[in-house]
Chains A and B, each alone.
Chain A
């Protein structure tokens, strides 16, 4: 979680820099951005990569692609159908960007927390939650992410987002959270 937060800060910082450099060519503005948490960042790796990207914007991405990437990385909860552990197309698209992030930041770690809705028995649901977390883990590995950057934990039905007894609540609770 630490590194991921740091990454988000880095992204925010980078976007701020990009905006700043559009507005003016005064690179002194960059010093202001330290207020945004550059110094409190716990990961030198993600900060420095964000800085080097920002320096020349040399990521080869259009503004739109960059927006897609940022939206994908902001997506940290993935939902599942009842009794299923297959990833949606939207989840797979977002996870490609997460994989790229992890590959370019080898010190970053993801904790993938799998959850189930409350129907059925608890220990079976613990296994279902693990399977969902493993589905995300496997997808990231297939994209080339090192297994030592990933950890899966299942909470089964123990940690619902919504405690109500409704289909809508169940749908929110069947999930994998990226931390």
Chain B
């Protein structure tokens, strides 16, 4: 396993936090894939050892790749052979099935209570080329991590984009019991919705979860004191601290790209403005000072500016602005549409992701505006979109919307070609936040 950091985190988390399978567990349902997916044959891995394995590595890899919308797996029933090692592969069998790529492997227990060996090979069928050949050591409870890591490598080999299957998401769930009682939970799961864990239980709202860039800490807003306060929590220990308790709004904490600062919204001076806290000294710096609402800060990739939502343009119609932290210069970025908010700059620094309402109806769509050309591209057809969060490989955006009267999570690829939902068995799900890479 080449990701000792991730494994360490996973083990600590699994032992520290209450795991609740079944409750608020999300599962991906693909609603739209690409027209010409890559054909991949994934042969069930052989198991050489005693007892049953809890995880089926090949099945997890297959699900991951298909859920990306970029791959289609060849049905197992059609396979002419089931190789587990390179010398057992006859490429014509796979060309015949139309496979572009082939993944085979096995899981071996060498006994003596040592770790399992996961050996796998990934081939380009047409070129008859072995693209990846690797043996990974893993404990029995780490097979899901290994499966995600294999998925990442295969995805990158084929698409040229680093896979994000080993990442995690934070999200908030709520279950309304009656008018006076709602249970709120802050949850963390794998990016595919698996292995969900509850990080915080409350009977008051929880908002705006956000990751530190190293994936070790999170920040969020909790009303547990009956007032909104910003908290920072260390994932490995569960230890947390309250960062702000000013009068009024304390909201929207967002770690800077270098992890040393946190942008936030405070209304302590009368109305919401954007502030930046130095996380080492806890010094606060006021970034905007306007009688209109300024909120929803996010950092530009270079860490030198903040994107934010403001209705300083008037008419109670929020638009998206950018402020330079160095000069304080404020520039308006959006002009088209009656409501643009929650802007996030993509890593290219040109495309701005946002929630966009074109006219005066109730259609709030996830959209991308090219800030150089001004063109707007709506990514979704769901109507009440909010809380977008970009995958660390910038290929997908996860966001919240409603299905009927229930809040659910959705994801869409940056080009709009792939869409999937992450419904929950019960309750409302919202405010997803995609983790960074863990290494």
Contacts and interface: CB of A to CB of B under 8 A. Distances in A.
Interface of A: 83-84, 118-124, 126-128, 130-131, 134, 152-156, 158-159, 161, 163-165
A154 B249 contact: yes
Interface size grouping (class) on chain B: 35 or more
B402 interface: yes
Contacts of B248: 130, 152, 154
A126 B405 contact: no
Nearest to A166: B405
Most buried by B among A126, A134, A156, A161: A126
Interface in B111-169: none
B318 A124 contact: yes
B135 to A, nearest CB: 46
Contacts of A158: 205, 207, 223
B296 interface: yes
Contacts of A156: 207
Nearest to A164: B405
B341 A118 contact: no
Given A83-B316, A165-B405, A126 B295 contact: yes
Interface in B357-375: 357, 362, 364
Contact of B228 (A126, A163, A164): A126
A131 B21 CA distance: 40
B269 to A, nearest CB: 13
Contacts of A119: 362, 364, 384
Interface in B183-237: 205, 207-208, 223, 226-228
Contact of A122 (B272, B387, B404, B405): B387
A126 B309 CA distance: 12
Contacts of B355: 120-121
Contact of B384 (A118, A130, A134, A152): A118
A12 to B, nearest CB: 22
Contacts of B334: none
Contact of B223 (A121, A131, A155): A155
Interface string B371-399: 00000000000001011000000000000
Contacts of A84: 316
B207 A120 contact: no
B339 interface: yes
Interface string B272-297: 10000000000000000000010110
The 10 closest A-B pairs by CB, nearest first: A158-B205, A127-B293, A83-B316, A121-B342, A121-B341, A127-B272, A123-B296, A121-B386, A123-B252, A123-B295
B251 interface: yes
Contacts of A163: 176, 405, 428
A27 B101 CA distance: 95
Contact of A126 (B249, B342, B402): B249
Contacts of B227: 153
Contacts of B341: 120-121, 124
